[in-house]
Amino acid sequence: MTSTLACSWVVWFALLVGLISSVSTELLDDEQLMQVNGTHFDYIILGGGTAGLVVASRLSEDPNITVAVIEAGNFEKNNPNVTNTTGLGLAKNTRIDWQYESVPQVFGGNQSLIWSAGKGLGGSSLINGMTYIRPSKSQIDLWPSLGLELDWNRYFTASKKGEHFRPPASNISVLGAAYQNSSHGYAGPLDTCINPHIIGGDIHDIFNSTFKKLGIPPRSDFCGGDLRGFGIQDVTVDQIADVREDAARAYYYPFMNRKNLVVMVNTTATRILWSLSPQNRPNGNANGNAVASAAEVVSHQNGRVSTIYADREIVLSAGAIRSPAILEHSGVGNPAVLSRQSIDVKIALPSVGENFQDQTVITILASTVQESPPGFPPFVAHASLHDLFGTETTSVYNTTLAKLPQYADAIISAQHNGVAGSNANASIVQQHLLKTQLDLLFESKMPASEIAPIALGKAIGCVFWPLQPFSRGSVHINSTDRTVQPTIDAQFFRIDFDGQLSVATARFVRKFLTTPPLSAIVNASSLVPGFATVPEDATDAQWLDWIKTSSQYQPNYHHLGTCAMLPRDKGGVVDNDFRVYGTANVRVVDLSVVPLQVAGHSTALLYGIAEWATQKMRSQHT
């Protein structure tokens, strides 16, 4: 796109260079905001989180391209709650956590839940558990059957490009740490490793032997696309500096002196502005697609509103909760949703904000007769549908398959005219998506649930979550105030297969805790839930009642899907180029584009997707 600067390029560049040090490193004051207001950049990235910083860093490698990043949070490079490599969850519920609250989950015990998401330069990579596990190869290789271009080979290549894996030292190799050389990249900006502070003693061997008795094999590496098994996870940690390797530390701080890269912190992106025709409708390009001209941003210091212009593209990278909200405030979404807030419809795209998916985290606890050594708990196991249901697996598959039309109709009925608003065959579309998930669970080695046994002090907590929820929720705006958090409804447990899989995993986990050699160090009378609460022969209904009402289940913060990359008539919001349907120059690069939940951990998935997206963007502007 040709620049439309009112001032000469030389004058503009001088202004930009003068702003770099102040805008990139501190809170914007009135004078700086006045300078930024009306400034042009080639690319504006709305959200300085995990994906946004990958895109910004890679695009700005070209010194002839200017990039601005708008981030609502601040710099957190020296925040001890972020940098600590042994404490988990230290930054949760602090000022750098958005703490989004859902509506009561009608099908999940009527609880309102909190979704954590990082608010700071680096996004959720600042506050997550640092786990780095890539998704299942079989799952990503099915994406092309849904209409996606991205497959495992493309993802894996892009993901390894960004990774700098450091093999474990001998002192932790003897504790069970292992890896496969071919599963990693070694020259990228993102440091990964096996946490050097992993827990010592014989706990790894005890867990490993117990899982073996239950049919779960050992696995030396979870980053090569095969996940079933028990082993030690990788983490995003700078092993040399012994600090968390968040996205800012990997993709921004080493490059923050680039003269063509500007980061504006403590500044919220509120909406996209469009190049308008005389009829006050978005101007289109040669294909009739709407052209975004600018982003509206608000300073947290004084509420000043500024407009920043994009001469090429605007990239939404605000996450699966905020990205659809920004689109809706910009007039892109379901007309029924927008009309309630009296927002003029620029692009009717009913699937915006739909397809919200996350996993439910449940914990079973017990005290132990011996104290575990101090250290980071790195253990993880992935169990397949066959591991969990055994001889009943085929029956479970057939019963679930027969219910897919019912499940699809339930999903559609919960939507704000989502897919149904863009496709008369919405039920068939949803059934196809659900069958894709079901077949994958039944026919492949892809795990159905993840189990993380955590030994701390004189206790063991087995945290687990089914990996492929069938329930779908939504995220939508509820106010014309663009700073108000959107309404989140995950619809947890709306589809009964989710409850069935949760129950099967809970049974498996309690069996794990009562199977030798682990049972020798577990106080069986201390189990939560104990056998008095949920008997050995408890029905599915008894287990599910405990899960919904007493387990204090939580979301896994792996939320995704609300701007799905799918064909438009199948509920898609973005195409294979990450471009929002109906627009010429607006892309979404974050977890909201992922159409179905994945095994593995979302951070590892996202880094690879962001690298892939940036490759496509650069190739299309050469």
What local confidence, expressed as pLDDT, does residue 108 receive? 97
Pick the closest to residue 362 from 108, 594, 101, 88 (CA basis): 108
Would you say residue 55 has pLDDT above 90?
yes
Position 397 confidence tier, pLDDT thresholds 50, 70, 90: very high
Would you say residue 622 has pLDDT above 70?
no
Would you say residue 6 has pLDDT above 70?
no
Of 27 and 158, the structure prediction assigns the larger pLDDT to 158
Please tell me the distance from the alpha carbon of residue 493 to that of residue 495, in angstroms, as a whole number.
5
Please tell me the distance from the alpha carbon of residue 491 to that of residue 488, in angstroms, as a whole number.
9
The reply to whether 558 belongs to the active site is: yes
What local confidence, expressed as pLDDT, does residue 417 receive? 56
What local confidence, expressed as pLDDT, does residue 34 receive? 58
Would you say residue 335 has pLDDT above 50?
yes
pLDDT tens digits for 69-114? 999 999 999 999 999 998 878 999 999 999 999 999 999 999 999 9
For residues 589-616, average pLDDT: 98
The reply to whether 601 belongs to the active site is: yes
Topology (CATH level 3) of domain 9-78+247-353+561-619: FAD/NAD(P)-binding domain (3.50.50)
Label residue 173 left, alpha or beta by phi (over 0 means left) and psi (-120 to 50 means alpha): alpha
For residues 246-263, average pLDDT: 97
Q: State the chain's mean pLDDT as an integer.
A: 91
C-alpha angle 254-258-263 in degrees, rounded to nearest 5: 85
Give the phi and the psi of residue 15 in degrees, each rounded to 5: -60, -45
pLDDT tens digits for 275-293? 976 555 677 676 779 999 9
Position 358 confidence tier, pLDDT thresholds 50, 70, 90: very high
What local confidence, expressed as pLDDT, does residue 493 receive? 98
pLDDT tens digits for 506-548? 999 999 999 999 999 999 999 999 999 999 999 999 999 999 9
What local confidence, expressed as pLDDT, does residue 423 receive? 58
DSSP 287-344: TS-B-EEEEEEEETTT--EEEEEEEEEEEE-SHHHHHHHHHHHTTEE-HHHHHHTT--
What local confidence, expressed as pLDDT, does residue 33 receive? 56
For residues 156-172, average pLDDT: 95
What local confidence, expressed as pLDDT, does residue 484 receive? 95
What local confidence, expressed as pLDDT, does residue 325 receive? 98
| Element (DSSP H or E) covering residue 433 | helix 426-443
Contacts of 327 (CB under 8 A, 6+ apart): 272, 316, 333, 349, 352, 353, 563, 573, 580
| Longest pairwise C-alpha distance within the chain | 78
Q: Please tell me what DSSP assigns to residue 386.
A: H
Tell me which range, 170-174, 273-277, 340-344, is most confidently predicted by mean pLDDT: 340-344
Provide the residue type at 220 as one letter: S
Would you say residue 183 has pLDDT above 90?
yes
Q: Which of 40, 164, 184, 558 is catalytic?
A: 558
pLDDT tens digits for 439-496? 999 987 789 999 999 998 999 999 999 999 999 999 999 999 999 999 999 999 999 9
What pTM value is reported for the model? Answer: 0.93
Quick one: what percent of the chain has pLDDT higher than 70?
91
